[in-house]
Amino acid sequence: MKIMDTIKKFKASFFLGAIIIITAGFMFKPAGFAIGSKAPDLAYKSPEGKVIKLSSLKGKLVLIDFWASWCGPCRRENPAVVKAYEKYKDKKFVNGKGFTVYSYSLDKDANRWKSAIKQDQLTWEYHTSDLKGWSSEGAKLYGVNSIPTNYLIDGKGTILAKNLRGPSLDAALEKHLKK
């Protein structure tokens, strides 16, 4: 009788464990999109109120940069992004001509956002936000749950890399330069 009870308990435990694993698979999706997948389009307003579409940058390598003026790590990373932009903006890549940044801010305060762009000398022209903070639609679309977060996409909109910081951004751009 003991063997039968043990087998029943094992089956019940195994069945319960399988249900938990399957349920967890549906509940916990990995954040963001995988390298090699197509980057979804974004279309949000600039500080001047003009809608800028990510798809309008087709043909260039683009760093989609999720950040905010109130985010210390974002602000500390901005000099590296500026340096990469200045170095690579006019270069030719295997699958793209030139490099730019599509900044997506998770700010709520337009004045703080504009001020940070100026203070950090973010000279590219593609700054966007819906000013909804953590409820930002673009951040939700990309599965952003912490910032800074970024995606490097090629001229066809394919994700080449993500979460590139400092020297790793430079290395990724070097890797895709046309020889």
Per residue in 25-42, pLDDT tens?
A: 433 344 567 889 999 999
Per residue in 100-149, pLDDT tens?
A: 999 999 999 999 999 999 999 999 999 999 999 999 999 999 999 999 99
Assess whether pLDDT exceeds 50 at residue 75: yes
Does domain 43-175 correspond to CATH entry 3.40.30.10?
Answer: yes
Q: Which pLDDT value is given to residue 34?
A: 87
Contact 52, 46 (CB under 8 A): yes
Q: Which pLDDT value is given to residue 179?
A: 84
Q: Which pLDDT value is given to residue 33?
A: 79
Per residue in 44-74, pLDDT tens?
A: 999 999 999 999 999 999 999 999 999 999 9
Q: Which pLDDT value is given to residue 28?
A: 39
Q: Which pLDDT value is given to residue 5?
A: 63
- Residue 17 three-state SS: helix
Q: Which pLDDT value is given to residue 77?
A: 97
Contact 162, 145 (CB under 8 A): no
Q: Is 78 left (phi over 0), alpha (psi -120 to 50) or beta?
A: alpha
Q: Where in the chain are the domains?
A: 1-30, 43-175
- Measure CA 59 to chain center: 19
- Residue 104 three-state SS: strand
Contact 69, 111 (CB under 8 A): no
pTM, full prediction: 0.82
Got the DSSP string for 26-52?
Answer: HH-PPSS--TTSBPPP-EEE-TTS-EE
